[in-house]
Structure 1
Amino acid sequence: MPDAAAPDIPLATYATAAQQRAYIAAMKKIRAARKPGEPVRVYICAAPQIAQRRQWDERLAKIRHRLPGVELVQFADVFTPENYAEKWPELAPTFDGLVVVGMTKRGADSHVYRLGETARLEVIDFVKAGKPVLLHARRYGLIPFVDCKIHRVGEAKLRTKVTIPDGWDPQDYEPTLQAARRALRPRPIEPETKHDDASPYLTHPFAAPPR
């Protein structure tokens, strides 16, 4: 008698093992290159209709909790609708990472998010630069784009559809997310250490030598 089919296990990521290893290695390089005391700035990519909601400050607080010590930069902090196109090429390289707060038409539990033309181009710029790009979903927290399924949609106006894996663990256990969070973590300035092993003669040159 054949064995009963095992239940399907939801995917925790759409990335291959090789893609995950490459991503983690890239995040480790970013972490290793970060200097102590160097500030970390992350740009928040969100449509105006999202950023104007009453719960927006709560959303930012959740992101900040997952990225402690990071400065979150919003559109209104550095841009205006009139100067965005001119200033983006200049300012984008100064940001260390990107967090996208996308739109979904299926409620907070949806796994599918849609990015407009501007968000799509911002994501492309950060991916090309090798910097961490994360999607923030209300229920699932932060998800690296490398773990999502990405589809380009539209013809005249190109947009991006981002699908979160059904088995994504919102408790920050996934290795790619851990690597991205470490890459975006500021390194503290190490306090100066006292040299206790200095020679007593050098410390007190006129002291009597030990017998």
Structure 2
Amino acid sequence: ETKIRLYRPKLIYTMPNVQNPTGITYSKAKKRKLLGLARYYGAYILEDDSLSGLYYQSENTKPIKTYDQDERVIYILSLSKLFMPGLRLGYLLVPTELLARVRTIKHLADIATSGLIQRVYDYYLRNGLWSKHLTSLKKSYQQRFEYCQQLLEKQLGKQVSYQLPQGGLTFWLKLPAKVSAKMVAQKAKKQGVLVTPGQVFYARQADDSHLRISFAGVDEQQAKEALTILGQIIKAE
């Protein structure tokens, strides 16, 4: 609220479910509070919900849009992470008064999304394949998620700290004091391990104490080798 008072934004961008890169998920109370602030100060919320489909807890959390009674939320969902990697397909739920302008901007940007890709996804929905696909995807990623968590505890448990995310494809690691995330990432790259230093996620006052690691594109053996190398580098630093 302090930031809103100071900057008076017209738009507030947020990922309230499995936020990238931290993995944080807002509580229901915080989601409703943010919606109340947007209503009170006359701002819209742009809600990016692209990773909530990969939520590994027993009960999925609801998006802010669920509680939106007076059309304050622009809801965005990308299918690139869920349907097929790199697939340029997604959808918007737009407040009525913004719909005409959003359509115009969409038309100016790329005329239209691929008709073939839309028809393929429509086929998945109509034939009950989407829910089967999503169930299979979540099962596969959850196995990798749990395995990587075990590896983190075994290989890096005494060297890093992190808050266990409720889903998603990444872990956000806090490094020991005076250890540079940028330096660790550079040394890891030389050994064939790609991780993302936290500083790339900041617009200003870049953080150099966090690493984001992704388990999306690796099997168990690759994950074990990568985290062993990463642990050795951090220990040496």
Provide TM-score, normalisation by structure 2. Answer: 0.23
Bigger RCO of structures 1 and 2 (CA < 8 A, at least 6 apart): 1
Q: Quick check: which one's helix share is greater? A: 2
Task: State which structure, 1 or 2, has the greater radius of gyration over its C-alpha atoms.
Answer: 1
